[in-house]
Structure 1
Amino acid sequence: MLHRRHFIAASGSALTLASLGLPADALAATGLQLGPPSPFSFDRLAALAESLASRPFVAAAPLPAGVLERIDYEAHGKIRFDTDSALFRDGPGNFPVTFFHLGRFFPTPVHMHLLETAAGDAFSREILYDPGYFDMPADSPARKLPPGAGFAGFRFQESRLGDPKQLDWKKNDWVAFLGASYFRAIGELYQYGLSARGIAIDVAEPDRPEEFPAFTRFYFEPSAPGSTSVTVHALLEGPSITGAYRFVMERTKAVRMDVECRLFLRRDVARLGIAPLTSMYWFSETHPSSIDWRPEVHDSDGLAMWSGGGERIWRPLNNPEQTTASAFVDTRPRGFGLLQRDRAFEHYLDGVHYEKRPSLWVEPMGDWGEGAVQLIEIQTDDEIHDNTVAFWVPKAPATAGSRFALRYRLHWTDVEPYPSPLARCVATRTGRGGQPGQPRPAGVRKFMVEFLGGPLAALPTGTRPELVLTTSRGKFSYLFAEAVPNGVPGHWRAQFDFTADGKETVDMRLYLKSGDQTLSETWLYQHHPA
């Protein structure tokens, strides 16, 4: 790790690549060009963010708009970073870094820096943009960008020491930062899916446009030989907020990220979203599509929460008719995440493999105090739109001059990293209410909520779970639980009919118990009567 303290800047002429701890020919072989050294520490970065927050926001000097506009989807697709120019191509550490090019859809310049130590002090040197790092056509409009234009983002490639016949690092990456403060990683099933963000500002806030602060600078620490982790620092800038971030990211079977952030508000924010997760939910077995041939299309199918009081909660996602915001008040939350629980290929039948999309779990580190997990759901009619956002909103007002210091861990996995001992909700199915052979009553919906595992698998023969079911309005009928007739131990479904009272949104809560024993996590559902 870097030596983290304040120190006096050394002159640029006093440093060489060798004094920075890298062989002189290591970067020369990549062709990467570096700017002069500047003192660095995470505290310095946080001090810079705090200083910027005390002044009006100034956007980065624009690049030639005509050039960026010409780098459209087709032109950008012809630009490929040359892996021979990858940072850390020959080490130190296992994971080379490659960079994304600027273009029409990624116009904000991001400046990349290499960190190292000299005489015990840390320094940064900017990696200067050069079109020579990229393979591109001779007539590419990208060649018109000025020197030092910057990059759009970066990604860490798989281990350079791995077997290229199994996982060639030049063709495979495991984490990518691209666009505003968005980033994502693959999970245990080697698939990208949902994204995380550094911060979310005023998402779905009435009469206030959403703001998208951006990571404008990144700083890369060289890793120790053989290390499975990498460390990156980032500066966040936006009209309402600035921040300093440190990401310690570990690549093993899955991906784990330890995030530390210090945030400084320039002006009041109505909805400050900490550790935001962004995903796509179009339809599933809960809400089948009438226009698409596939059974299900989603990157995530539910929001899972582990409250400070220990309750395990599952909230299936919706694709609502209009944007909705749900808040789940809590104190010292233990975790929350957007998960992809349905792992059956035949439930999607799509070669893009939605069944392999990672789940993403947020684990707060330290006491986050009072606040709420908030879930924003936005209507979509296509899979190309991310329409689901979840984050933590502190109870403390996010007013100009406020500051927040938080740490959390992100788990990009197959299942949640701390599985509940209780039965999990694995499906929510709905249909018209009523009984077979009888007229279907108007305004009545039937629900089938499936639970699997946990103490349900150990129920004595003849024991039937009891439904504990509540609603904000309306009434239930025809309630009972039965084992799903598929021969799978511990697979039960709770069935009930629901009659709405009016057209307003209804919140339901359900769990299974036997005597005084809780058998399942809590199912929460938001029903929108037709």
Structure 2
Amino acid sequence: MPASHAGELATVRGAPEPFGFELLVDKARALAAKAYAEPRVRAAETLEKIDYDAHWKIRFRPEETVMIGETAPVQFFHTGRYFKTPVRLYQVEGGQAREILYNPRYFEMPEDSPARDLPADIGFAGFRVMRGDLKTDWISFLGASYFRTDGQSRQYGQSARGLALDTGLSRPEEFPRFTDFWLAGPEKDGDTLTIYALLDSPSVAGAYKMSLRNADGEGQVIGINSRLFFRAPVERLGIAPLTSMYWYSETNRSVGLDWRPEVHDTDGLAIVTAEGERIWRPLNNPEALRTSTFLASNLKGFGLAKRDREFENYQDDGVFYDRRPSVWIEPLEPFGEGAVQLVEIPTDDEIFDNIVAYFLPKDLPEAGSEKRFHYRMHWTDRHPVETGGALTVATRVGQGGVPGQPRPADQIKVVIDFKGPALDGLTRDDGVVPVVELSRGEPINPYLLPVVGTDRWRLVFDARVADHDPIEARAYLKTDTDVLTETWLGQISHELVATPPR
């Protein structure tokens, strides 16, 4: 294989065909009217040999980078053990789409790479959009309907999906996949490119249009317009799903047998309701799979956030958990009646994504039904939601009771720190009071104080937990005339203060 093929693949394309979003919608509708066809995996035994190490050694040739429009250089991912089903890629110009045909010359491969034994038309596993210097990418699409960006601080973390189906149920989850992508230049000023995608699975086919903007130092904004056509009923439909990793933080430090103080991509779920109430739910790493549902009809937005952004709280200068992006979902057309669901899965390592959040419509699809969703995603350090109130900045738990006295075995102490403009300058004389509500029992000895030497206020209370079923808790700060903070929602259980095995 020659050492360089500078640009020689730039014009190797399939035959042109008309393309537009409405044509893609028609294609998805027609696909849903047919029985689902399971994708065929070719050369499966050879692909199985391309494990993580072998896949990493297959490098895209930078000179073969495909320029989409004027600002989006695109490179491709090779297939392998973990990405056996290829996707079709098309370049769109002037209302015409031409397929970008796979060629092994797009990649540098070691002489002993199993990839050299693959068919010459095996196809691509996915793609990524590079920055202008071609040294780093800022968004990638690889596997099922997953995609992710590196956010404002240029560090990959949580992922998004086109759609989630039956997540967290007793039966296996269904993973729709993007089978085809059409890459086009931006349609409006300020955007970087436009990506169209065809989604398919046993229950649904769909058409997606994504308008992407990457602004250095500001993160990414992605507008998503989706049209979904259902072959079969769906019990749990997850719209705008986000997937993250949460192992442990200051909230449940005892479960993390690791030298670092905290390990997580995100530390909480934020919701803004139709009425403007702000909700913060700290994440858990439960002993068993747990699904929490938050009624939020016509919500203003939701997302998984990384609020703790201090390096000292992670001490990891390899993967930089302090730089992971927060993602905010902003409906551009009302989502209607429904709820935000949070699925938390047990984990004992950082390599597993164990957190999923999405919007669940009340009106679930039946066979033959159609749905459409239009929303915007913000990938930034902090959620772009204006507030004059105070936010939760830390949640800690520990053994209940009073130091120096016998500790009750059934009590857990909860400590919540709030910080924000609504609390700035207030003192104990300003009538700030806590509101604490529990799903079982009453809070024990709740009290509130400004934290000396800081601009934080700290709420402390005990909860009596008699069994392993978690207590749902709700807390916020107020005065006689005003609510000062967002609403903290938490689950209190013995597992938060479990003693790690020795």
- The answer to whether the superposition gives a TM-score over 0.5 is yes
Structure 1 stretches lacking a partner, 5+ long: 1-26, 161-168
In structure 1, the residue matched to 2:488 is 523
* Greater shift in the superposed pair: 407-416 or 54-63: 54-63
In structure 2, the residue matched to 1:141 is 114
The residue correspondences of 1:363-402 to structure 2 (distance < 5 A) are 363-402=330-369
Q: Distance in 2 between matches of 1:331 and 1:435?
A: 42
Q: Distance in 2 between matches of 1:372 and 1:180?
A: 24
The residue correspondences of 1:449-460 to structure 2 (distance < 5 A) are 449-460=416-427
Q: 1:128 aligns with which of 101, 107, 112?
A: 101
Contact 1:93/1:224 (<8 A) preserved: no
Q: Distance in 1 between matches of 2:248 and 2:417?
A: 18
Task: Kindly report structure 1 stretches of 4+ aligned residues shifted beyond 3 Å.
Answer: 27-32, 223-228
In structure 2, the residue matched to 1:183 is 147
Q: CA deviation at 1:290?
A: 4.9
Equivalenced residue count is 486
Amino acid at match of 1:110: V
Amino acid at match of 2:166: D
Q: Which SS does the other structure have where 2:210 is aligned?
A: strand
Q: Distance in 2 between matches of 1:108 and 1:74?
A: 19
In structure 1, the residue matched to 2:402 is 435
Q: CA deviation at 1:149?
A: 2.1
Contact 1:198/1:275 (<8 A) preserved: yes
Q: CA deviation at 1:116?
A: 1.0
In structure 2, the residue matched to 1:445 is 412
In structure 2, the residue matched to 1:476 is 443
Q: Distance in 1 between matches of 2:464 and 2:481?
A: 29
In structure 2, the residue matched to 1:343 is 309
In structure 1, the residue matched to 2:292 is 326
Contact 1:94/1:226 (<8 A) preserved: no
Q: Distance in 2 between matches of 1:484 and 1:184?
A: 38
The residue correspondences of 1:39-78 to structure 2 (distance < 5 A) are 39-78=18-57
Amino acid at match of 2:276: G
In structure 1, the residue matched to 2:127 is 154
Structure 2 stretches lacking a partner, 5+ long: 1-5, 496-502
Contact 2:10/2:66 (<8 A) preserved: no
> Is 1:282 aligned with 2:247?
yes
> Is 1:247 aligned with 2:210?
yes
Q: Distance in 2 between matches of 1:265 and 1:80?
A: 38
Q: CA deviation at 1:31?
A: 4.0
Q: CA deviation at 1:171?
A: 1.3
CA separation of 1:372 and 1:259: change in aligned 2, threshold 3 A = same
* 1:112-156 CA-partner distances (Å, limit 9, x unpaired): 000011xxxx11110000000111113322122223322111111
* 1:20-59 CA-partner distances (Å, limit 9, x unpaired): xxxxxxx955545101011111111111111111111112
Contact 1:184/1:194 (<8 A) preserved: yes
Amino acid at match of 1:275: A
In structure 2, the residue matched to 1:87 is 66
> Is 1:418 aligned with 2:418?
no
Q: Distance in 1 between matches of 2:443 and 2:483?
A: 21
Q: Distance in 2 between matches of 1:407 and 1:37?
A: 29
TM-score of the aligned structures, taking structure 1 as reference length: 0.89
Contact 1:175/1:186 (<8 A) preserved: yes
Contact 2:7/2:63 (<8 A) preserved: no
In structure 2, the residue matched to 1:17 is none
* Greater shift in the superposed pair: 429-438 or 370-379: 429-438
CA separation of 1:40 and 1:92: change in aligned 2, threshold 3 A = closer
Q: CA deviation at 1:61?
A: 3.0
> Is 1:200 aligned with 2:164?
yes
Q: 1:269 aligns with which of 188, 210, 234?
A: 234
CA separation of 1:453 and 1:225: change in aligned 2, threshold 3 A = closer
Q: CA deviation at 1:500?
A: 2.4
Contact 1:92/1:225 (<8 A) preserved: no
Amino acid at match of 1:107: K
CA separation of 1:173 and 1:223: change in aligned 2, threshold 3 A = same
In structure 2, the residue matched to 1:174 is 138
Percent of pairs with identical residues: 47
* Greater shift in the superposed pair: 496-505 or 355-364: 496-505
Q: CA deviation at 1:251?
A: 0.6
TM-score of the aligned structures, taking structure 2 as reference length: 0.94
Q: CA deviation at 1:314?
A: 0.2
Q: 1:109 aligns with which of 82, 86, 90?
A: 86
Q: Which SS does the other structure have where 1:33 is aligned?
A: coil
Contact 2:214/2:221 (<8 A) preserved: yes
Contact 1:205/1:270 (<8 A) preserved: no
Q: Distance in 2 between matches of 1:529 and 1:290?
A: 15
* 1:272-325 CA-partner distances (Å, limit 9, x unpaired): 100000000000000003521111100000000001111000000000000000
In structure 1, the residue matched to 2:174 is 211
> Is 1:292 aligned with 2:258?
yes
Q: Which SS does the other structure have where 1:494 is aligned?
A: strand
CA separation of 1:256 and 1:225: change in aligned 2, threshold 3 A = closer
Q: Which SS does the other structure have where 1:105 is aligned?
A: coil
Contact 2:240/2:329 (<8 A) preserved: yes
Contact 1:31/1:133 (<8 A) preserved: no
> Is 1:493 aligned with 2:458?
yes
